[in-house]
Amino acid sequence: MPSIVIVGGGFAGTTLARALDGRLPPDCELTLISDESYMTFNPMLPEAVGASVFPEQVVAPVREMLSARSRFVMGRVTAVDAQARTLRCETLGGERALEYDHLVLAFGNRARLDLLPGLAEHALPLKTVGDAMHIRNVVLRRLARMELEWDAQVRRELGHFVVIGGGFSGVEVAGELADCLRSVGRFYPRVHANELRVTVLHDTDRLLPELPAKLGAAALVSLTRRGVAVRLGARAAAIAPRSVELSGGPVLEARNVICTIGTRPNALVERLGLPLERGRIRVAADMSVPSHAGLWALGDCALVPNALDGKAAPPTAQFAVREARQLAANLLAALQGRPTRPFSARSRGMMAAIGHRKGVAQVFGIGFSGLPAWLLWRAYYLSQMPTLRRKLRIFVEWTWGMFFPADITHLRFTRSEELQAEEQAPPTLACLDKSEPRGCRWPTAPSSPS
């Protein structure tokens, strides 16, 4: 019985599994292994940061995407023996070894935390849904802390959010944060609107370099209109707990630094011993790994040549999905002894949501911005959700969310034993600030930034 194993339940892995599910010969086994039980719609993470959508609305359970003919294993692949065609996998039931005839590597990449001094310790990366939830909670904690803070300097640092990177994710996060801070302001009456600032640092001379200059300029206008300070040609050099140092000297006072740049290869890549280029697995035109029969790779972890222009396909969701569809056809061809075909695709365009009901898009060569671009963005990701039931639920929830302020629920997931430990700890009175005026326990009126 031939068996196909896919490693990674992201855009590439789940699209491939869905394309093969039901099309394989009846005696062929399909297994998808991923270390999370859900697929993350990464392009929507900035909206989860800005609390426009709930985190559970940007993920989809892998099991809902597959039929009973296929198998999903939640586990982390730790080693592959390409000669013996076996892999090792850590699962909830312990370590397992698995044999395969065809293995597809689609495990993406990771956030890079060593790009700048202080980044790992003090910055907030945005790569996973956990990162998005964490940043959202940090934003809400900062606002809650400002409500109680007297010191003007500390308030300035707490209220300043610096986003490193003016590409898609950076612009999206900045726009979402600006809208979120404005819409939740009414719930924090002791925080003045002018005390909340968002700054984008981008090291080239225009935002969204992947899009035509006109759309980068539209994003710049949209952000600056909402009070976001965009610093073009500015490069972060180091991050400290209360500041960001820029190349050339200036220091920005901020306790919140969100990093949207830099990726590193998945740790598994280095253990595989396969030929790499720029940290990605080098594959042939049909996505097979040269000199390793039965081994294939695609998506962000692979350097897939695009036969259309001879260049490497970019590491984007759009290309991961289209590579997956081509690879499904190639795997079926390989099983039937037919020739495989090279990957060839023309970009259909690009879109970015740059805040609540605002977007920029270039689709089939036509550029547009504002609400139409945002609606198209939402419609596209809704169409990618599995099952009609899920699509309908998310459509209703998104539509509801369009007309109301961002949700300020700050879920802490505190367990009973942690609560008990907190209650038993000795009280700390050190937090009472010496500069606090006598007789008044908390700031009572909005303070103006100095």
Which residues lie near ligand FAD (CB under 6 A)?
7-13, 33-36, 42-43, 45, 76-77, 106-108, 126-127, 168-169, 266, 268, 299-300, 315-318, 320, 352
Rounded to a whole number of angstroms, the minimum distance from the CB of residue 183 to ligand FAD is: 21
Rounded to a whole number of angstroms, the minimum distance from the CB of residue 233 to ligand FAD is: 23
Q: Which is nearer to ligand FAD, 14 or 243 (CB)?
A: 14
CA distance 66 to 21: 7
Rounded to a whole number of angstroms, the minimum distance from the CB of residue 173 to ligand FAD is: 8
Q: Which is nearer to ligand FAD, 50 or 315 (CB)?
A: 315
CA distance 48 to 127: 12
Q: Which is nearer to ligand FAD, 12 or 246 (CB)?
A: 12
CA distance 268 to 87: 12
Of the candidates 428, 355, 324, the residue with the CA atom closest to the CA atom of residue 14: 324
Whether the CB-CB separation of 266 and 301 falls below 8 Å is answered with yes
Q: Which is nearer to ligand FAD, 159 or 315 (CB)?
A: 315
Rounded to a whole number of angstroms, the minimum distance from the CB of residue 11 to ligand FAD is: 4
CA distance 221 to 241: 31
Whether the CB-CB separation of 449 and 151 falls below 8 Å is answered with no
DSSP labels, 88-130 = EEEETTEEEEEE-SEEEE---EEE---SSTTHHHHEEE-SSHH
Helix residue ranges, H only, 353-412:
371-384, 388-401
Q: Which is nearer to ligand FAD, 191 or 360 (CB)?
A: 360
Rounded to a whole number of angstroms, the minimum distance from the CB of residue 192 to ligand FAD is: 30
Whether the CB-CB separation of 236 and 102 falls below 8 Å is answered with no
Q: Which is nearer to ligand FAD, 17 or 236 (CB)?
A: 17
Rounded to a whole number of angstroms, the minimum distance from the CB of residue 230 to ligand FAD is: 19
CA distance 98 to 85: 9
Q: Which residue is nearest to ligand FAD (CB)?
A: 10
Q: Which is nearer to ligand FAD, 137 or 447 (CB)?
A: 137
Strands 102-105 and 3-7: parallel
Q: Which is nearer to ligand FAD, 254 or 352 (CB)?
A: 352
Rounded to a whole number of angstroms, the minimum distance from the CB of residue 321 to ligand FAD is: 8
Whether the CB-CB separation of 150 and 272 falls below 8 Å is answered with no
Distance (Å) of CA 144 to CA 139, 140, 385: 9, 6, 35
Other Cβ atoms closer than 10 A to 321: 19
Rounded to a whole number of angstroms, the minimum distance from the CB of residue 35 to ligand FAD is: 4
